[in-house]
């Protein structure tokens, strides 16, 4: 997709704060240190649009971004960080459940994992919840530049086997540093969007 515009819309924690649901929406989720903000910035080719928190688990807001006035991206707060208090983790779950239940324009959830870790229990629970709600689930392994090619090949095979998936078809292998996986992720997203003349 050719990016003509990308802008921050707003942040919030409950439906009264959410922007109007007048565009298709894709949400992004992952553990607190998975590189989600960097991936989203790379995706829209706007350095610094999605703020990178210096403290994993600190950001507890939903944040929305407009892309080409055609699509909204929602950045979900990171999860799974051990130093976050238990009540914050509970609030996270309630907030995300409410978001899923009330966001009629939500088409898909991209679940990110660090390629060096693979999909863990928190990720699997979120994947299952999204699937039960009828959302498309896009699996993305990030930080693929952090390991050598042979090790990356082995990690791809191991993660795909663990998830009972095809490594070439079912998981997007992404690097914010090199841009690898960016076009594949946009192709996946674009298949979910209504066709328009300018879509690429």
Q: Is residue 179 part of a domain?
A: yes
What's the pLDDT at 200? 44
Q: Is residue 197 part of a domain?
A: no
What's the pLDDT at 83? 61
12 exposure class (CB count in 10 Å sphere: 0-12, 13-18, 19+): middle
In angstroms, rounded to a whole number, what is the distance separating the alpha carbons of residues 176 and 132? 30
Q: What is the CATH number of the domain that holds 159?
A: 3.40.50.300
Nearest of 135, 182, 171 to residue 38 by alpha carbon:
182
What's the pLDDT at 145? 97
What are phi and psi for residue 138, nearest 5 degrees?
A: -110, 120
What's the pLDDT at 91? 79
What's the pLDDT at 198? 46
Q: Is residue 173 part of a domain?
A: yes
**Residue position matching structure tokens 């300018």:** 198
Q: Is residue 157 part of a domain?
A: yes
What's the pLDDT at 195? 76
Nearest of 53, 62, 133, 114 to residue 122 by alpha carbon:
114
Count of domains forming the chain = 1
pLDDT, tens only, 46-105:
999 998 765 555 567 899 999 999 999 999 988 876 566 677 677 788 899 999 999 999
What's the pLDDT at 199? 41
Q: Is residue 199 part of a domain?
A: no
Contact of 63 with 76, CB cutoff 8 Å: no
DSSP conformation letters of 156-172: HHHHHHHHT--TTTTEE
Q: Is residue 106 part of a domain?
A: yes
Q: Is residue 108 part of a domain?
A: yes
Q: Is residue 198 part of a domain?
A: no
Q: Where are the alpha helices (DSSP H) in the chain?
A: 36-44, 86-102, 121-132, 149-163, 182-190
Residues in the chain where the model's pLDDT stays below 70 = 53-59, 81-85, 88, 196-200
Largest CA distance in the chain: 49
Strands 106-114, 62-67: parallel, antiparallel or unpaired by DSSP?
unpaired
Q: Please name the residues in contact with 113: beta carbons below 8 A apart, sequence gap of 6 or more.
A: 30, 31, 34, 119, 120, 123, 139, 140, 141, 142, 159
Strands 25-30, 71-75: parallel, antiparallel or unpaired by DSSP?
parallel
> Residue 56 sits in which domain range?
6-190
**Residue position matching structure tokens 């498309």:** 136
Strands 25-30, 171-173: parallel, antiparallel or unpaired by DSSP?
unpaired
């Amino acid at each position: 997709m050719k990016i003509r515009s990308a802008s921050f819309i707003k942040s919030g924690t409950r439906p009264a704060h959410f922007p109007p649901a007048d565009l298709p929406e894709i949400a992004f989720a992952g553990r607190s240190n998975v590189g989600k903000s960097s991936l989203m910035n790379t995706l829209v080719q706007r350095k610094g649009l999605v703020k990178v928190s210096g403290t994993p688990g600190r950001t507890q807001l939903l944040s929305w971004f407009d892309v080409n006035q055609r699509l909204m991206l929602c950045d979900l707060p990171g999860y799974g960080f051990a130093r976050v208090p238990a009540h914050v983790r509970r609030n996270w779950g309630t907030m995300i459940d409410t978001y899923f239940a009330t966001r009629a324009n939500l088409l898909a959830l991209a679940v990110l994992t660090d390629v060096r870790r693979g999909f863990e229990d928190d990720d699997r629970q979120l994947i299952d919840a999204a699937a039960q709600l009828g959302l498309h689930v896009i699996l993305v392994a990030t930080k693929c530049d952090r390991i050598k090619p042979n090790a990356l090949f082995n990690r791809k095979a191991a993660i795909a086997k663990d998830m009972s998936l095809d490594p070439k078809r079912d998981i997007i292998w992404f690097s914010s540093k090199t841009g690898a996986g960016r076009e594949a992720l946009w192709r996946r997203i674009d298949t979910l969007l209504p066709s328009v003349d300018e879509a690429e």
